[in-house]
Amino acid sequence: MSYSIWIVEDEKSISDIIKAYLEKESYSVTQFMDGLSAMNALEGELPSLMILDINLPIYGGQDILKKLRESSDLPVIMLTSLSDEVSRIKGFELGVDDYVTKPYSNIELVHRVKRILIRTYGKAEQLKISKELYIDTKTYELFFNDNRIDLTTNEVRVLMTLVKEKGRVLSREQVIELTFGYAYEATPRNIDTYIKNIRQKIEIDPKSPEIVRTKYGIGYYYGGGL
């Protein structure tokens, strides 16, 4: 499913950065630089999710949210520099799904977007690695007891390939082909780097890996759970 996201933020530099992060995840992004243009757009086709700044010219974020909730329950993440409890409670009463307080991590914001989209439009599909460790195959994220482990999308995709090909030892070239396809411009050394990073994050002892193992002279294979 392809998701569309509106960013309603009057600071262009902030909006552009958020847009860049979201587009890396293949979301379709539309930007609004003031409350009036966003308010007018509510009469047309709505997005999958809205990222909405609370402080906007003409119409504020809470005004837009109130208008939106008259006809739609689409998810909204509110951006705010206000930390007072009253503003947050009012936002939740109007139907905001999540609050992000400035300054914030754009990586964390993208993570929140992904989780809300899954919660709203579809349950995560899980690929079990061990009892505690699983991959969300919709968002390409790795979790340990529901806590996200910081791997890149490509690292997670490589790990997925090894798990799905359980019982096979894969050469670096096979990992590239099965994970990214023939057209992917990568070298075997790229795969070595991905594997090294994966082991650093998920193995108890990265020097003696139990999950991602090496068959020397041949390649890598999934060794099962911890």
The domain segmentation of the chain, as residue ranges, is 4-121, 126-222
**What is the rounded CA–CA span in Å between residue 215 and residue 22?**
38
How many CB atoms are located within 10 Å of the residue 147 CB? 8
| pLDDT per residue rounded down to tens, the chain (226 residues) | 568 999 999 999 999 999 999 998 888 999 999 999 999 999 999 999 999 998 888 898 989 999 999 889 899 999 887 666 666 677 777 788 898 888 888 988 998 998 898 888 776 678 888 888 899 887 788 998 878 898 988 999 999 999 999 889 999 999 998 988 766 677 888 999 999 999 999 999 999 999 999 999 999 999 975 3
Residue 145 makes CB contacts below 8 A (sequence gap 6+) with 132
Run of H or E residues at 109: helix 106-121
> 112-121: b or e for each residue (b if 16 or more CB lie within 10 Å)?
bbbbbbbeee
pLDDT for 156 equals 93
Checking DSSP bridges between strand 49-53 and strand 4-8, what pairing results, if any? parallel
How many CB atoms are located within 10 Å of the residue 212 CB? 22
pTM listed for this prediction: 0.56
- Going by CATH, does the domain composed of 4-121 fall within 1.10.260.40? no
Topology of domain 126-222, CATH: Arc Repressor Mutant, subunit A (1.10.10)
Question: Cis link prior to 47 (omega < 30° from 0)?
Answer: no
**What is the rounded CA–CA span in Å between residue 94 and residue 24?**
31
Under 8 Å between Cβ of 176 and 163: no
Distance linking the first and last C-alpha atoms of the chain: 33
pLDDT for 226 equals 39
pLDDT for 214 equals 96
